[in-house]
Amino acid sequence: MADVVDPLWEASSMALSRAHLAEARRIGDELAAIARSGLLLPGSIVERSTTCGRPGCSCQKDPPRRHGPYFQWTRKVAAKTVGRYLTREQRDDYTTWIANDRRAHELLRRLEELGIEALEADPRSRSAP
């Protein structure tokens, strides 16, 4: 592939290190692959077994045989945790989606770290007065 110059990059007066650009491009490729898959889901999936209040139920015996397992997808919405029950098959499918979402966030954080490193290395940067 020809060495394409990004127009955004050309418009910038700043010089980024080769290592910075190379890493950003690797991250971009991986991020794009995740985005194109369309398989992203926030939150997490938990597995729960429960006890009930029914007298004499085996969930309360010793040793207990709890109900479940139940699979629940949980996530934060406006600082509150909300959940939805999933079938085992859904749990198997969506576990990958959640892993993709986490990886995408990790990659974005790494890009931000590169930005911070670049700003801190910028000779025009100075400490706060």
Contacts with Zn ion by CB under 5 A lie at 52, 57, 59
Q: What is the DSSP letter of 59?
A: G
CB of 51 to Zn ion, least distance (A): 6
CB of 74 to Zn ion, least distance (A): 23
Residue with Cβ nearer Zn ion (54 or 105): 54
Torsion 99-104-106-107 (CA) sign:
positive
CB of 67 to Zn ion, least distance (A): 5
100: its two tokens: 């993709």
Residue with Cβ nearer Zn ion (25 or 54): 54
CA dist., res. 121 & res. 20, Å (int): 12
CB of 68 to Zn ion, least distance (A): 10
Residue with Cβ nearer Zn ion (51 or 72): 51
Omega prior to 63 cis, within 30 of 0:
yes
Cβ contact 109:18 at 8 Å: no
Residue with Cβ nearer Zn ion (70 or 94): 70
